[in-house]
């Protein structure tokens, strides 16, 4: 099973946020809000679009809006990655 990890998210946030360097080798404050980390809804929209193009997930707008921290977004992404292709109960 594929797993989306914090360094993957840190990389996308920094790329979509227009930052040149990734501080602390991709370390991300998992429990800090995206707002406090300096990421707005446009950055998150771009991050989610890139995730959906690269991984077999579809994240609802509500699920993304409810995920206010990197840890919460990682949980949403990984819960979708755990669902078999075709949806729950369909292999």
pTM: 0.82
**Whether 34 contacts 60, CB under 8 Å:** no
Q: State both tokens at 6.
A: 């914090």
**Whether 5 contacts 27, CB under 8 Å:** no
Q: What is the CA radius of gyration of the chain?
A: 13
Tens of pLDDT, residue by residue over 18-59, are 876 555 555 689 999 999 999 999 999 999 999 999 998 999
HEC secondary structure over 40-89: CHHHHHHHHHHHHHHCCCCCCHHHHHHCCCHHHHHHHHHHHHCCCCCCCC
């Amino acid at each position: 099973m594929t797993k989306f990890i914090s360094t993957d998210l840190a990389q996308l946030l920094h790329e979509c946020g227009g930052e040149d360097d990734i501080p602390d080798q991709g370390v991300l404050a998992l429990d800090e809000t995206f707002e406090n980390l300096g990421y707005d809804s446009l950055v998150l929209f771009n991050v989610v679009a890139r995730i959906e193009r690269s991984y077999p997930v579809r994240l609802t707008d509500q699920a993304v809006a409810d995920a206010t921290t990197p840890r919460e977004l990682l949980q949403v992404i990984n819960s979708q990655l755990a669902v078999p292709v075709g949806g729950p109960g369909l292999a």
